[in-house]
Amino acid sequence: MRNKFLGTGEPGYHPIRKLRVIWSGLRFAALYDFSVAYKLVLSAVLLIAAFWVRQWLDVLLILLATALVLIAEMLNSAIEALCDFVEERHNEKIRIIKDIAAAAAGISIGVWLVIVIVEAMRLWSRFVA
């Protein structure tokens, strides 16, 4: 695909190619990053349960929280990989960059965890009752 800012690449927009790139990135993250994989699995279980009991607002909330935590996790992984690629030795500035990226991912994990726990308890009470 052509990069309109750099003027490089092939001309034209191909949505199927874009979807392939998106799928490839998500698949790579799920296969090689355990923090992405377990969040996908746990969220999928909760999404299926919420869908089963027709709690549509819960489905949307779990979907939104999962999307945000996965975005944060994948950006954190990308930033860490880029930092390691640029500077292999220990560098205090790189450490600070990685710590900030990890803190952003940590905040999103905390919010996701609260939502997952609350929704799991609500769904459990629906299945038990």
Kindly give, in sequence order, each residue whose CB lies less than 8 Å from that of residue 102, ignoring residues fewer than 6 positions away.
76, 80
The answer to whether residues 87 and 94 touch, using CB atoms and an 8 Å cutoff, is yes
Instruction: Give the helix/strand (H/E) hosting 14.
Output: none
Tokens 């292999």 correspond to: 88
Tokens 């999928």 correspond to: 44
> What is the C-alpha to C-alpha distance for residues 71 and 58, in angstroms, rounded to an integer?
20
Give catalytic status of residue 73 as yes or no: yes
Residue 10, CA atoms < 13 Å, CB-side half-sphere: 6
Catalytic member of 73, 80, 87, 92: 73
> What is the C-alpha to C-alpha distance for residues 68 and 51, in angstroms, rounded to an integer?
20
Instruction: List the catalytic residues.
Output: 73
